[in-house]
């Protein structure tokens, strides 16, 4: 499951490099990205929502451990939350999946 998530995120990131945040399009065309967050912030919170730890998230997104913390911190500020569970709940409420 974790490998599938990592491969999906990596393929989406590589295919749209330089184009800025782009919503994830599901088969039904429904937008599943929280518009408040950047693409990487969405990816980090999505990994958290799938139960990945910081190191696993870093490996899945092919970024450093400190980059995960940076994106997580920015997402928490934008979502006005103070922990992962609040962030995931708010991310879901705002359209993330």
How far is residue 81's CA from residue 65's CA, in Å, rounded to a whole number?
21
Give 21-50 pLDDT, tens digit per residue: 343 333 344 445 678 899 999 999 999 999
Give the whole-angstrom CA distance, residue 12 versus residue 14. 6
73 within domain boundaries? yes
For residues 7 and 71, the model is more confident at: 71
Residues 30, 28: Cα–Cα separation, whole Å: 6
- Is the residue at 14 inside a domain? no
16 occurs within a structural domain: no
State how many domains the chain has.
1
Name which of 8-17, 45-54, 64-73 the model is least confident about: 8-17
Q: What percent of the chain has pLDDT over 90?
A: 55
Structure tokens at 35: 């518009």
Question: What is the CATH classification number for the domain harbouring 71?
Answer: 1.10.10.10
Q: What is residue 96's three-state secondary structure? A: coil
């Amino acid at each position: 499951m974790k490998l599938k998530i990592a491969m999906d995120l990596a393929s989406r990131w590589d295919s749209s490099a330089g184009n800025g945040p782009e919503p994830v399009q599901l088969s039904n065309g429904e937008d599943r990205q929280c518009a408040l967050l950047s693409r990487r912030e969405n990816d980090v919170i999505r990994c958290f929502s799938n139960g990945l730890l910081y190191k696993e998230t870093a490996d899945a997104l092919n970024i450093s451990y400190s980059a995960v913390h940076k994106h997580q911190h920015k997402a928490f500020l934008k979502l006005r939350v103070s922990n992962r569970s609040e962030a995931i709940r708010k991310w879901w409420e705002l359209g993330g999946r």
